[in-house]
Amino acid sequence: MGNHKLRGKDLSKLGITEDKTRSMVIDITSKHYKRSTKNKILDKIEQVITKPETYKNCNIWGKLYNEITPDTEDNNTRYFDLNSNNTLFYTCGRELISSNAWQQMNLAMKLPISVKGALMPDAHQGYGLPVGGVLATNNAVIPFGVGMDIGCMMHLSVFEESDKFITRYKHQIKTTLKSDTFFGTGVINDITPDSCILDDERFYETDMLKRLKSKAAKQLGTSGSGNHFVEFGITKLSDDNMFDIPAGEYLSLLSHSGSRGLGADIASHYTEIAIETCVLPKGAKHLAWLDLNSQEGQEYWIAMNLAIDFAKASHTEIHRRISKSLGIKATKTVSSVHNLASREFIDNTSVIVHRKGATPAGKDDTGIIPGSMATPGYIVKGKGYTESLNSASHGAGRKMSRHAAKESISGSSMKSMLKANGVTLIGGSTEESPMAYKDITEVIKLQSKQVDILGEFNPKIVRMDKA
């Protein structure tokens, strides 16, 4: 190998993350590929993990085959190799996307069920699909292609009140955001909202959903941790706006959250089933899918759509509660879900489109793409650009991991930035600092083929977890 030493991070990019498997690969290559370049070695490793059956009886790679291929047999289990030829996908803003996110999308395209893919400019590494990844499949759903927070979405209420309302009633707004919002993992709403979602018949479709109903009832109208928020700001509208109201600057309320514990439990349960019944090379195991003709596939589809509707009901409750407390009434609302799978037609073919952190942007679809707590968000209308699978980004996207942000961004520098932008923060942490995110204006400009801008939202009083 000469000076081309293979490292753990090189293997991570190929989806080899377990220490035992990494050590095995490094041991094999150090013994048998001493004169090869790193690139040739990595190409060979990729061949092995995408077509493991070819190396089953190989003297050199047979040991790795045994490691990455389970030897248990089950009548309901099917084993799949990856298609190394199917790797083309649309990429918007490649210069903004990390190599590990791009490699994840590249791996997803090799699934035998993959039809078409796209990667948004806000993309970063995730589990299964990268966040910002869009994948069309043939009659199959990947639970981790939707993600743990099923139905995570944006919801915007625009009020008749002008931008002066925030200055005049800042104290009341802060008090309301503190008292009438509930944040964090496992948090519950002390008062169970009166919502028809809790009477939804789908809660009785499976034993698991029956068990989850009580948890859902307690968490309806609550928000998650991390980058989830409820914030007041100003929406700027031009003369030509979708709300059919005069141009101007209006008081607005924007929230970001998903289906809470309901969605997380659904995702975990069906991902386990998918991994057990759809066996892929270990580097790709979180891309395991459920056939939509199977009972498990149908169960997940029902549960996923219930979780999406639950998330919508939660946002409705959050906005209702806050509006009532402040004595204001929304004149217009707009929302968009960015963690979902849906049946759509692409190139006249029926496919299942997975959007994991991507905003639907079909012809005339409306959506919201936020920036950060100190930068603008945008109300957009989709153009129906099929190359991007009728999708756009779901935000600015992280340029720095939460750990890196916590280690490198000081609280004082974040406070200075917020102050300079006239933003008041309740809760939050440096992990969600605006400096940890990509430039939203650059991200939006890159998507001119995908969306038109209808309005701009600027945050002013932000409520997040850890208050």
Q: Using one digit for the tens of pLDDT, what is the confidence trace for 107-137? A: 999 999 999 999 999 999 988 899 999 999 9
pLDDT at 218: 93
Are residues 195 and 332 located together in one domain of the fold? yes
pLDDT at 319: 97
Dist. CA 112–CA 73, nearest whole Å: 21
Q: Is the pLDDT of residue 282 over 90?
A: no
pLDDT band at 4; cut points 50, 70, 90: low
pLDDT at 73: 47
Residue 275 lies in a domain: no
Q: Is the pLDDT of residue 15 over 90?
A: no
Q: Is the pLDDT of residue 74 over 80?
A: no
Are residues 203 and 322 located together in one domain of the fold? yes
Which region among 4-13, 144-153, 390-399, 429-438 has the lowest average model confidence (pLDDT)? 4-13
pLDDT at 46: 77
Are residues 156 and 65 located together in one domain of the fold? no
Are residues 22 and 161 located together in one domain of the fold? no
Are residues 192 and 331 located together in one domain of the fold? yes
pLDDT band at 467; cut points 50, 70, 90: low
Dist. CA 455–CA 452, nearest whole Å: 9
State both tokens at 197. Answer: 């979602």
Q: Using one digit for the tens of pLDDT, what is the confidence trace for 249-263? A: 999 999 999 999 999
Are residues 326 and 417 located together in one domain of the fold? yes
Are residues 46 and 161 located together in one domain of the fold? no
Q: Is the pLDDT of residue 269 over 90?
A: yes
Residue carrying the six token digits 């034993």: 207
267 touches 150 (CB < 8 A): yes
Q: How many domains does the chain fold into?
A: 2
Residue 94 lies in a domain: no
Are residues 57 and 177 located together in one domain of the fold? no
pLDDT at 24: 86
Residue 58 lies in a domain: yes
Host domain of residue 204: 151-259+290-337+358-463
Mean pLDDT (whole number) for 308-330: 97
Q: Using one digit for the tens of pLDDT, what is the confidence trace for 344-378? A: 999 899 999 999 999 999 999 999 999 999 999 99
Dist. CA 283–CA 344, nearest whole Å: 28
Residue 129 lies in a domain: no
Are residues 332 and 431 located together in one domain of the fold? yes
Residue 86 lies in a domain: no
pLDDT band at 17; cut points 50, 70, 90: low
Q: Is the pLDDT of residue 3 over 50?
A: no
pLDDT at 8: 73
Are residues 55 and 165 located together in one domain of the fold? no
Residue 85 lies in a domain: no
Are residues 318 and 444 located together in one domain of the fold? yes
Q: Tell which of 16, 39, 69 closes a domain.
A: 69
Residue 377 lies in a domain: yes
pLDDT at 70: 53
Residue 297 lies in a domain: yes
14 touches 45 (CB < 8 A): yes
CA dist 235 to 75, 247, 251, 448, 458, Å? 56, 10, 6, 21, 6
Q: Using one digit for the tens of pLDDT, what is the confidence trace for 171-211? A: 999 999 999 999 998 888 877 677 899 999 999 999 999 99
Q: Using one digit for the tens of pLDDT, what is the confidence trace for 41-62? A: 887 887 787 677 778 788 888 8
Mean pLDDT (whole number) for 20-41: 84
Q: Report the length, in residues, of the chain.
A: 467
CATH number at residue 458: 3.90.1860.10
Are residues 169 and 59 located together in one domain of the fold? no
